[in-house]
Amino acid sequence: MMGMTRHLTSRTTWRFAAALVTVGALTVAAGCGDDKKADSPTETAAATAGVQITGQWARTSPSAATIGAAYATFTSTEDDAIIGVSIDASIAKTAEMHEMVMAGADSTMPVSTNGMGSTATTMGAMTMQPVAKVALPAGKAVTFKPGSYHFMLMDLAKPLEVGTTFKLTFVFEKAGSITVDVPVLDEAP
């Protein structure tokens, strides 16, 4: 116990003014051309309770399109599940949760190849179907992305234009409803 030596420590107090370090977030990403297709988000969820939603975006829609698609990554602190999605009628009539599945060879559903994570699937043999529930295991990031789970925006009120945003509400089994602003982009962020 050295409680009597306070005066010594005061002499060795050093102040480093402006020890402010701005860390450029621009790590030179390994953007080089190895066949890296999986663009998996590496962000981890903060230690807050509930579900964290990151990287949400919607693909711009051609003016003739009546459906749109939106994507996001969900990370829950506890075992949860996403059980619904809703959208304002000023954007689209309804929103649905979809998954891509292998379908019969007669499928003519056009599938965007943009961001497809898998190289082994035959594009023409995949189609999508509504899904009622997607599990969110605790601590595991679940990404909705082109070629996988996605949110389908049915009967768009107007085309989704790059630079705009709209609100999308996700419903979780435990975490309840969470509404986020979804930017419209050309490509995945």
* Residue 127 CB, nearest approach to Cu ion (Å): 9
**CB atoms inside a 10 Å sphere around CB 5:** 7
Residue of 116, 131, 152, 178 interacting with Cu ion (CB under 5 A): 152
Q: Which amino acid is at 154?
A: M
* Residue 152 CB, nearest approach to Cu ion (Å): 4
Helix (H, G, I), strand (E, B) or coil at 9: helix
* Residue 150 CB, nearest approach to Cu ion (Å): 6
Residues 89-148 that bind Cu ion (CB under 5 A): 98, 128
Question: Of 128 and 141, which has the nearer Cβ to Cu ion?
Answer: 128
Question: Of 52 and 68, which has the nearer Cβ to Cu ion?
Answer: 68
Question: Of 98 and 145, which has the nearer Cβ to Cu ion?
Answer: 98
Q: Which residue's C-beta sits nearest to Cu ion? A: 98
* Residue 80 CB, nearest approach to Cu ion (Å): 22
CA distance 76 to 90: 30
Contacts 24+ apart (CB under 8 A), 50-54: 50/76, 50/77, 50/172, 50/175, 50/178, 51/75, 51/76, 51/77, 51/80, 51/82, 51/136, 51/170, 51/172, 51/175, 51/178, 52/76, 53/170, 53/178, 53/180
Chain length of the chain: 189
Contact pattern for Cu ion over residues 7 through 46, marking x by CB under 5 A: ----------------------------------------
Q: How many residues sit close enough to Cu ion to count as binding (CB under 5 A)?
A: 3
Tell me which residues touch Cu ion (CB under 5 A).
Answer: 98, 128, 152
